[in-house]
Amino acid sequence: MSTGIDTEGGGKRRPFWVDAVILALAFGVFVTMVRLGNWQMDRLAWKLDLIEQVETRAFGPPVAAPIKGAAPEYQRVTMQGVFRHDLSLRIKAVTEIGPGSWVMTPIEGAEQTVWVNRGFVPPQMRLDEINRPEGLQEITGLIRSDQPGGTLLEQNLPDRDRWVSADLALMSADRGIEAAGYYIDAAHQGAAADWPRGGMTQLDFRNTHLSYALTWYAMAVLFFGAMAYVIWDRVRAPKERTS
């Protein structure tokens, strides 16, 4: 009858159920690593598709800004209308040239009103100091999606006229207008030194998903090898003691 005593080693052997729990946990870690690698591969496919879409849409000839209907992100569009400078607002921004604000101004066209990101201004510059074209204007820029809810750390506060994201519905309600469900990142207009500084849409997308995927897969392989060795060593040890 087995007493659970390791007479060769002089101590108790670990119960089988403990080994089973450790093995189950180790297998869970291995599966998690593989799934993280698979997730990174899915993200890689998404990122490559996004890059292809941006290159196709953002650098092609402009089309008329969509009226209601679908508005594909980064599509290059053109629109005519009159800027409502009296309704402009500033959205907090951090760019390659430093912190400041995006100047958001509605443009009233013949068939719709669209919010336009006219570009970047430094924090000390007032809105009445920037270039403010009057009369009928034609703008060219890129379609951008609504950004409701603020950011991870900050919220839009309309009552303080404090904005951290392009929450178009909230912006329109605050300014008392009806606008499209997208906005346009305008190309730079006027002289090179004029403010606001347009044409600063980020079109270079960091793509590290493949390296992350390979890292997770490599860790899974090494972990599997270590787990297999521990199991083999656990099975081998009693046989050596009885030989």
| pLDDT top residue among 202 and 118 | 118
User: Mind listing the pLDDT tens digit for each residue in 72-103?
Assistant: 888 999 999 999 999 999 999 988 888 999 99
C-beta separation of 132 from 83 below 8 A: yes
pLDDT above 90 for 136:
yes
SS3 142: strand
User: Mind listing the pLDDT tens digit for each residue in 13-22?
Assistant: 667 677 778 7
Supply the DSSP symbol for 124. T
pLDDT above 50 for 9:
no
User: Mind listing the pLDDT tens digit for each residue in 187-208?
Assistant: 877 666 689 988 777 766 677 8
pLDDT above 90 for 186:
yes
As given in the structure block, the two tokens for residue 95 are 């760019």
**Rounded distance, CA 223 to CA 231, Å?**
12
Tell me the domain boundaries of the chain: 5-49+208-242, 68-186
Label residue 121 exposed, middle or buried (CB < 10 Å: 0-12, 13-18, 19+): buried
Backbone phi and psi for residue 36, each to the nearest 5 degrees, phi listed first = -65, -40
Contacts (Cβ under 8 Å, ≥6 apart) of 7: none
